[in-house]
């Protein structure tokens, strides 16, 4: 609630008290304030003396700005997810080159299974990017960091499997909540 109150105070003439009243009335975003119109805001104590049209205009402008900012962030996150997808494909090739003779054994099948699960997890992440922007940014960065160099640092397929599981856990925290 405090975060929303601070956010609403970006509108000129909306201070701490009026922002709390707006939130209590159910107008906790710029979109909702703009949609409320004059009639909706006049019902809130303290708004009868304010230039409501200007407040609505500011709220609409801030809502538009917020949507653009979120769209840019989502675009960046999709690019990060695509980068991770490319890293997974590259990892699959490196693993095949490095452990080619061992891939027919149990460990090789497990690596293949983990890579498939990783691809499925990335697809789920892409579906959740719109609604989970902040955690997605944090978790994608963590997954990318963990994924970088898994095959290069290890000479053991078991270590690659363990690393892939950790990366997938990071991704799972984006779409599982």
pLDDT digits (tens, 9 = 90+) for 43-93: 998 887 789 999 999 999 999 999 999 999 999 999 999 999 998 888 888
Instruction: Output the pLDDT for position 34.
Output: 92
If you average pLDDT over every residue of the chain, what do you get?
Answer: 86
Chain center to CA of 19: 27
d(CA 176, CA 57): 38
d(CA 139, CA 135): 6
Count Cβ atoms within 10 A of the Cβ of residue 135 and give its class: 0-12 exposed, 13-18 middle, 19 or more buried: middle
How would you label 24-44 residue by residue, b for 16+ Cβ within 10 Å and e otherwise?
Answer: ebebbbbbbbbebeeebbeeb
Q: Which of 164, 28, 53 is nearest to 108 (CA)?
A: 164
20 within 8 A of 3, measured Cβ to Cβ: no
Where exactly are the structural domains of the chain?
Answer: 2-50, 68-175
Instruction: Output the pLDDT for position 106.
Output: 67
d(CA 155, CA 175): 31
pLDDT digits (tens, 9 = 90+) for 149-171: 786 666 677 888 888 899 898 88
d(CA 85, CA 115): 10
Q: Look-up: residue for tokens 């690596």?
A: 111
d(CA 148, CA 153): 9
Q: Which of 42, 36, 57, 119 is nearest to 82 (CA)?
A: 119
Give the predicted TM-score (pTM) of the model. 0.74
Whole-angstrom CA distances from 37 to 40, 52, 61 are: 6, 8, 14
Instruction: Output the pLDDT for position 71.
Output: 93
């Amino acid at each position: 609630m405090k975060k929303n109150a601070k956010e609403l105070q970006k509108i000129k003439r909306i201070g701490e008290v009026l922002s709390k009243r707006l939130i209590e009335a159910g107008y906790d975003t710029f979109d909702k304030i703009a949609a409320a119109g004059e009639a909706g805001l006049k019902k809130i104590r303290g708004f009868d003396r304010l230039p409501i049209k200007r407040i609505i205009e500011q709220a609409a402008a801030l809502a538009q700005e917020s949507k653009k900012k979120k769209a840019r962030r989502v675009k960046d996150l999709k690019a990060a997810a695509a980068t991770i997808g490319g890293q997974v494909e590259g990892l699959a090739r490196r693993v095949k080159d490095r452990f080619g003779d061992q891939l027919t054994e149990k460990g090789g099948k497990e690596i293949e299974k983990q890579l498939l699960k990783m691809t499925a997890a990335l697809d789920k992440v892409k579906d959740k990017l719109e609604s989970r922007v902040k955690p997605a940014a944090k978790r994608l960065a963590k997954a990318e960091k963990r994924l970088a160099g898994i095959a290069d640092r290890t000479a053991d397929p078991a270590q690659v499997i363990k690393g892939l599981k950790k990366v997938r856990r990071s991704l799972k925290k984006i779409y599982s909540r």
